[in-house]
Chains A and B, each alone.
Chain A
Amino acid sequence: MLLLITGASDGTADRLVLGYGEGVFRFNYDLWHQYSVLYTPEGWSIENPAGLKITDQTASACFWWKPLQYYPGNVDRAIKEEVKYFLRDIYGWFRVRGLAKGNSPNFHSEMGKVNILSVAKKYFPIPRSAYSVGLIGLDEFSDKLIVKSLASAQSDDKTVLMTTSVPSIEALDPKFPWFIQDEIESSWDVTVFLCGRGLFAFKRSRADIDGVDWRTEQDFSQATQEWFPFDLSEENSKHLLSLASELGVDFGRFDFMSDRKSLESLFFLELNAAGQWVFLDIADRYGLVDAVVSWLKAEGVGSDSSTSNQT
């Protein structure tokens, strides 16, 4: 039985449960108080209010899907931390037994954007990139620059730093931490979803984007398809799987930009180890949910998805 650790209103989790059928137990962090839990060094059990139950004897895999994004109720911070600790602890129970699927919730605490770029440059061109306090050593950057957030955290007043063009390095306050990159002149945003050994490549035209960050220009109505599948070249597929192998991942979304000339010429931007992916296939046309369900059902970590390259 799969233990799916997530949140109650997560639509991706809904789709996974529906696709999985029987044999999945969903634990919603925000509803933690509704489950009956016993966790001991000898064994464990979790039961939901409907009587569904998972134990150390029936559990076969665990998938961590954004549980901490959901509001756990107005309880003391110390209590929330106890529940979070339990979730991480039981995820570790699966991990030491080789039963955890996907990436650890701590993945990006250890593998950050700059570190990943340092590995990715062996396989793909990358934009010139630097994290700097004091704005030192940036002489080789072009005159077209962007800044972006490393942590993607909200500020105290609930705003976020999207990928943003800046006029020059001299325009930035050197007292702050900056993650700076050369701007890529691109015709397409490209994102490739990795599931097992399956690669699902999608492109989004930049023709109608005013800024540099497509996230600011999304169509939340879902009325218009924005991302379209395309065939990743054999060489890019090979390089991407090599990169994934070196990073030790078999799940996640890799973001690229094409150059102006060809979709085969890709600049690597970043890996989202817990990246969303259903928005790429909102109408279930390309088999992403089926691929993830097959991958979750497959025995062993790093198992192949039953579906490989898309379209």
Chain B
Amino acid sequence: MKVKKELKQKIAAGMLLTPMLLSSAPLSIQAGEDFSYDHGLQVNTQADGRVMSNTYSSTTYNGTQTYNYKGDPSDSDNDSDADPYG
């Protein structure tokens, strides 16, 4: 991995490690299908009316990351309840 290689080079050069140097981009997934929120059902549905949750494709219960409305991760750890949008 490029990051690990760069890190090794910096360690070899005697640079002290910082939290930012050890950080990396969080893993991400993209929502596979378009969906929209249905206020009547109070769940997400796909274009054909299927309930989103039944397809196992929605975005926020996988592992410990949270994803924003575009399917991009919004934090490193979705067990945090912090507001990433300030």
Binding site for B on A (CB under 8 A): 7-15, 17-18, 24-26, 28, 30-31, 34, 48-50, 52, 66, 68-72, 77, 80, 84, 105, 107-108, 147, 149, 151-155, 157-162, 164, 166-167, 171-174, 176-178, 215-216, 218, 220, 222, 253, 272-279, 282-283
Contact = CB atoms under 8 A, between A and B. Distances in A.
A177 B22 CA distance: 13
15 contacts: A7-B69, A9-B58, A11-B58, A12-B61, A31-B37, A52-B40, A69-B68, A153-B80, A159-B26, A161-B19, A215-B27, A215-B64, A215-B76, A274-B79, A275-B79
A66 to B, nearest CB: 6
Contacts of B52: 11, 14
Contact of A24 (B17, B24, B42, B61): B42
B69 A70 contact: yes
A276 B35 contact: no
A77 B75 CA distance: 19
B42 A153 contact: no
Given A17-B43, A69-B75, A105-B81, A171 B17 contact: yes
Given A8-B44, A14-B43, A166-B17, A278 B61 contact: yes
Contacts of A167: 11
Contacts, number: 193
B47 to A, nearest CB: 15
A253 B76 CA distance: 17
A274 B83 CA distance: 13
A274 B17 CA distance: 31
B16 A10 contact: no
Given A18-B43, A147-B22, A220 B79 contact: no
Contact of B63 (A13, A68, A72, A220): A220
A151 B61 CA distance: 20
Contacts of B51: 14, 18
Interface residues of B, number: 52
If over half of B's interface residues share one DSSP class (helix, strand or loop), that class is named, otherwise mixed; here it is loop
Interface of B: 11, 16-20, 22-27, 29, 31, 35, 37-44, 51-54, 56, 58-66, 68-69, 74-86
A68 B82 contact: yes
Contacts of B17: 166, 171-173
Contact of A9 (B11, B69, B78, B82): B69
Which of A10, A71, A282 lies at the interface centre, i.e. has the most chain B CB atoms within 10 A of its CB?
A: A10
Given A17-B42, A160-B23, A69 B37 contact: no
A222 B56 contact: yes
Contacts of B64: 215, 272, 275-276
B24 A9 contact: no
Contacts of A71: 68-69, 74, 85
Given A69-B60, A276-B61, A276-B63, A18 B78 contact: no
B19 A176 contact: yes
Given A50-B40, A72-B85, A222 B62 contact: yes
| Top-8 shortest CB links A-B | A160-B76, A11-B58, A278-B61, A14-B53, A272-B79, A173-B16, A159-B23, A68-B83
B74 A9 contact: no
A155 B84 CA distance: 11
B84 A69 contact: yes
